[in-house]
Amino acid sequence: MDKKTKFVLDEKEIPTQWYNIQADLPEPLPPILNPATRKPITPDDLTPLFPMELIKQEVSTERWIDIPDEVRDIYRLWRPTTLFRAHRLEKALDTPAKIFYKYEGSSPPGSHKTNTAVAQAYYNKQEGIKRITTETGAGQWGSALSFGGACFDLEIKVYMVSISYHQKPYRRVMMEVWGGKCVPSPSPDTKVGRDMLAKDPDCPGSLGLAISEAVEDALSRDDTHYSLGSVLNHVLLHQTVIGLETKKLMEKMDVYPDIIVGCVGGGSNFAGMFLPFVKDKIDGTKPDLRIICVEPTSTPTMTKGPYAYDFGDSAGLTPLLKMYTLGHGFIPPPIHAGGLRYHGMASIICHLYKLGFVEARAEYQLATFKAGITFARTEGIISAPEPNHCIKVGIEEALKCRESGEAKTILIAHSGHGHVDMAAYDAYLSGKLKDYEYPKEKIEEALGELPKV
Ligand SMILES: Cc1ncc(COP(=O)(O)O)c(C=O)c1O
């Protein structure tokens, strides 16, 4: 049996262009709406928040968009990333399935987020911006943008969801090492934060609330823009380096995945992996390819939410996106996969789900940690709680192959390491973690506030 385990491209094969799915969608995306007029947004609506190059990328239908040399030069620090064949996991599961995973944990902050953080910092710098605000859940995005800020000498202010700020103090320290400033959200630094603290001084926060704080901050200063780590089309675009590298490596091996599985918070890492492949399903070349998005049962956006226009943040400051949503006021239970606690989902993923090109599943926290431990004990990598969700489903699909005897090729989008998540593993190993069921009443309450469009 061929034991080759690591598959890597040469540095000169780092993609020179990002892939834009908007060129190949069977139907165009529903438009983004202005929150005040409820009419499709214009570039002018977005200029207080984003540089023009990113606004253009958001609506572009060009299939390929050049990656600036300055961005590619920084990508060289960790890209191309390795595609692994999980021989030891396959053996432990006694499965005929071939399991591969593309590992984004080798970037400086330890996740895929750097792929877009560096690009966004670059375009802001080009436009003369001095300071960027953002939100972060688990702290991966805040640390990635702090690193991006360090690359282009920009000041970064991060509003970190309070529960994660306290669960993961070392993420804050990482941001500070790269020169970023991080505060727990809700914070006293914005009106949105102060209002929430007055209502609930112990509020655990949510990504939606942290986004409101970061947007309010950015709108209050001319030298400041806002940056989002997921959800938006340009963020997913930047992440396609993951799928493009994987596709090239698999072509060299003459293999093609039967199943691609990834975790989804706002959807950026998984979309980055599957968009270059879903193109083949859309054009009919690979009709049987299965693409499975995995979310937590505590935040079941795609599996339980309606498809509706909603705000990206809790205060209703952002444009309206058509997406599966749990309602912008939804405050998710405090699970450890902080990056998956988001009420909405990338429009691109929702559109493809609605059209039947992707599937969705929800998983309980305890089962995902169990899968993460199996993965660590076979493959060595201690994964972040987020990718443990898709590792769980990857293992499940491999076990189905054991039953059926099929040697399917399963590709896992592995978004990052869990080295700063030891408190979560400690809680799991000492039996303190619990599962959270879908909080039906809370979601119904939040859905009552969906904007009328
Ligand atoms: C390691 C990791 N994986 C996945 C996610 C989820 O984000 P997205 O769905 O945008 O990839 C996060 C978000 O913080 C993360 O830190």
pLDDT tens-digit readout, 403-417: 999 999 999 999 999
pLDDT for residue 429 is more than 80: yes
Amino acid at 408: K
Which tokens is 13 given?
Answer: 């094969």
pLDDT for residue 1 is more than 80: no
Closest CA to 230 of 393, 353, 362, 386: 386
Closest CA to 134 of 115, 159, 112: 159
- Can you give the pTM of this predicted structure? 0.97
Region 339-350 average pLDDT: 92
Q: Look at residue 65 and give its three-state secondary structure.
A: strand
* Burial of 328 from C-beta contacts in 10 A (0-12 / 13-18 / 19+): buried
Classify strands 307-311 and 224-226 as parallel, antiparallel or unpaired: unpaired
Region 234-250 average pLDDT: 98
Question: Which region among 73-87, 347-361, 423-437 has the lowest average model confidence (pLDDT)?
Answer: 423-437
Q: 81, 101, 140: which to mutate for ligand 1, most atoms within 8 A of CB?
A: 140
Rounded percentage of the chain residues whose pLDDT exceeds 70: 100
Please state at what angle helix 268-282 crosses helix 347-354, rounded to 10 degrees. 40
pLDDT at res. 437: 78
pLDDT, one tens digit per residue, over 12-30 is: 999 999 999 999 999 999 9
Q: Look at ligand 1, atom 14, and give the residue with the nearest C-alpha.
A: 339
pLDDT at res. 420: 92
Amino acid at 256: Y
Question: Which region among 245-249, 250-254, 331-335, 349-353 has the lowest average model confidence (pLDDT)?
Answer: 331-335
pLDDT, one tens digit per residue, over 119-161 is: 999 999 999 999 999 999 889 999 999 999 999 999 999 999 9
Q: Look at ligand 1, atom 12, and give the residue with the nearest C-alpha.
A: 339
Q: Ligand 1 centre from 33 Cα, in Å?
A: 25
Question: Which region among 42-46, 120-124, 146-150, 178-182 has the lowest average model confidence (pLDDT)?
Answer: 42-46
Atom of ligand 1 nearest to the CA of 338: 14
pLDDT at res. 378: 98
pLDDT for residue 180 is more than 70: yes
pLDDT for residue 42 is more than 70: yes
Residue 329 confidence class, pLDDT cut points 50, 70, 90? confident
354 or 442, which is more confident? 354
Q: Look at ligand 1, atom 15, and give the residue with the nearest C-alpha.
A: 339
Q: Ligand 1 centre from 2 Cα, in Å?
A: 32
Cβ atoms within 10 Å, residue 82: 18
Residue 164 confidence class, pLDDT cut points 50, 70, 90? confident
Specify the length of the chain in residues: 453
Closest CA to 411 of 281, 238, 290, 251: 290
> Residues lining ligand 1, judged by CB closer than 6 Å?
111, 137-138, 140-141, 230, 263-269, 339-340, 384, 386-387, 415-416
Region 29-34 average pLDDT: 95
What is the Cα–Cα distance from 59 to 240, expressed in whole angstroms?
16
pLDDT, one tens digit per residue, over 189-222 is: 999 999 999 999 999 998 889 999 999 999 999 9
Tell me the residue ranges of DSSP E strands in 106-221: 131-136, 155-161, 181-185
Amino acid at 401: C
Cβ atoms within 10 Å, residue 69: 8
- The residues with which 18 forms a beta bridge, in sequence order, are 65
Query: The tokens 């895929």 sit on which residue?
Result: 112
| Contacts (Cβ under 8 Å, ≥6 apart) of 300 | 326, 362, 438
Closest CA to 364 of 323, 330, 336, 399: 336
What is the Cα–Cα distance from 450 to 31, expressed in whole angstroms?
17
398-422: b (≥16 Cβ within 10 Å) or e: beebeeeeeebbbbbbbbbbbebbe
pLDDT at res. 17: 98
pLDDT at res. 240: 98
CB 147 within 8 Å of CB 108: yes
Closest CA to 299 of 186, 417, 207: 207
pLDDT for residue 76 is more than 90: yes
